[in-house]
Amino acid sequence: MNGQKRIAAIHDISCFGRCSLTVALPIISVAGVETAAIPTAVLSTHTGGLTGFTYRDLTDDIRKIVDHWMSLNLRFDAIYTGFLGSFEQIDIISKIFDDLRSEGTMVAVDPVMADNGKLYTIFPKDFPAGMRRLCEKADLIMPNITEAVLMLNEEYTEGPYTKEYIEGLLKRLGKMGAKKIVLTGVSFNNKELGAASYDADTKRTSYAFADRIPGYYHGTGDVFGSALVASMVNGLSLERSTQIAVRFTVGSIMRTYNAGTDIRFGVNFEAGLKELAEEIKKG
């Protein structure tokens, strides 16, 4: 595709609490990429640590949006999915991959469903099998370690990890179908945390680490994934894109930590957008 790059972002909208589409839209856009959105649901806030939120399921609208897009003969350089709330949505998105994919389209899946060794309580135990089927159709997947072991039907173990374990996990994920894998939540000691990237074609593994910051910050997976996808659509390598995404995410967390703001409200990624744009442009 010539001219400006275009991404279809398929996520929910949490109207408050920086995550999903309210994160993906500005981050991808600041990288110079046109961002088209398919909202899977609308919530008054995200669900992490907040109660009493409203929720409107938009499953019935997803197919209609895509059908209209197809009538306009729209083409996409990437399709990027995040949180999907049901097996029905997985099945719909799987078909959308077939419909919207053309030569050169990168399909990126963030299999949002678990963390810290546990599947999110809203999902049934067999949900990881459904998410695995979606990841098998992707070019790039971005699981955390919990999501990775659930899709591989393996036991979760706490970090720090060894290189042998992480690289074995990456290779097993690579056999699922996606040729590019970025594994988040990787640590080899208690001081640093980061991500590992693996290219199944070249067999190359690389790492990007930063100092560990105390606390659990909501929405950071979406910040990371959006920066990663935006970098790769701009032609940067998997390794370089992972480095940029780690640096941008950690900077966002650090600003929030230093400000002492409520961690439930998401991280201050906005103040780093200019720097992100410059780093991606630099390559």
| 133-144: pLDDT as tens digits | 999 999 999 999
Alpha carbon distances (Å) from 209 to 21, 45, 83: 26, 30, 25
Sequence-distant (6+) residues with CB within 8 A of 228 are: 108, 142, 182, 241, 242, 244, 245
Which residue carries 């001219």 as its tokens? Answer: 3
- pLDDT band at residue 216 under the 50/70/90 scheme: confident
Question: In terms of pTM, does the model score above 0.95?
Answer: yes
Q: In what order do the strands lie in the sheet with 34-43?
A: 55-57, 34-43, 6-14, 78-81, 106-109, 140-141, 180-186, 192-199, 204-211
Output the CA angle 51-216-247, nearest 5 degrees: 130
Mean per-residue pLDDT for 234-246?
98
pLDDT at 147 over 70: yes
Average pLDDT, the chain: 96
- pLDDT band at residue 121 under the 50/70/90 scheme: confident
- pLDDT band at residue 37 under the 50/70/90 scheme: very high
When comparing pLDDT for 3 and 137, which is higher? 137
pLDDT at 45 over 60: yes
Model confidence pLDDT, tens digit, residues 149-192: 999 999 999 999 999 999 999 999 999 999 999 999 999 999 99
Is the distance from CB of 10 to CB of 40 less than 8 angstroms?
A: yes
Phi-psi sector, 29: left (phi>0), alpha (psi -120 to 50), beta? alpha
pLDDT at position 250 is: 97
pLDDT at position 271 is: 98
- Alpha carbons 133 and 124: distance in angstroms, whole number: 16
Domains of the chain and any CATH numbers: 6-282 (3.40.1190.20)
Least confident stretch, 52-56, 59-63, 108-112: 52-56
pLDDT at 8 over 70: yes
pLDDT at position 2 is: 60
User: Within a 10 A sphere around the Cβ of 71, how many other Cβ atoms?
Assistant: 8
Is the distance from CB of 201 to CB of 248 less than 8 angstroms?
A: no
- Alpha carbons 122 and 113: distance in angstroms, whole number: 9
pLDDT at 244 over 80: yes
Is the distance from CB of 135 to CB of 109 less than 8 angstroms?
A: yes
pLDDT at position 215 is: 87
- Over pLDDT 90: what percentage of the chain? 93
Least confident stretch, 1-15, 67-81, 162-176, 244-258: 1-15
